């Protein structure tokens, strides 16, 4: 499995601690440095079963600068959202764990991290 993290994020550190405590085999991706491409974001969204606006941190300064709260949330604007996430990775909700079975979870709670571990 792979976990997308921001080391400054307490939820990310908590998820890593839980993975370590469970002896999980995982790879860390510091997504602010190793920025996911638009195609990688599309893949993760498919694995999550979510839309880009579902994993967007709309309270970030970049979101406010872009005016994301006013953007439509529909199929016609989906690519625009994905492009914004690729260009401003800080907007991506974290941590995201991609499981070995092809699924993914946003691991903001211990329960979500355990769900990823059970796959």
pLDDT at 111 over 90: yes
List strand residue ranges (DSSP E) for 1-93, in order. 2-5, 27-30
Question: CA-CA distance, 11 to 39, in Å (whole number)?
Answer: 25
* Helices and strands of the chain, counted as H and E runs: 5, 4
The catalytic site residues sit at: 9
Going by the DSSP 8-state scheme, the letter that residue 68 receives in this structure is: G
Look at residues 32, 34, 36, 72 and name the one whose alpha carbon lies nearest to residue 51.
Answer: 72
Q: What is the pTM of this model?
A: 0.94
pLDDT tens, 76-110?
999 999 999 999 999 999 999 998 899 999 999 99
Paired tokens of 11: 């939820």
């Amino acid at each position: 499995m792979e976990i997308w993290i921001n080391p400054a994020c307490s939820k990310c550190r908590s998820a890593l601690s839980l993975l370590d405590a469970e002896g999980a085999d995982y790879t860390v991706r510091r997504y602010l440095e190793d920025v996911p491409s638009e195609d990688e974001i599309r893949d993760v969204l498919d694995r999550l079963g979510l839309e880009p606006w579902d994993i967007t941190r709309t309270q970030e300064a970049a979101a406010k600068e872009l005016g994301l709260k006013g953007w439509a949330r529909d199929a016609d604007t989906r690519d625009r959202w994905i492009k914004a996430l690729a260009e401003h990775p800080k907007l991506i909700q974290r941590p995201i764990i991609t499981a070995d079975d092809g699924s993914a979870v946003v691991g903001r709670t211990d329960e979500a991290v355990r769900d990823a571990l059970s796959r």
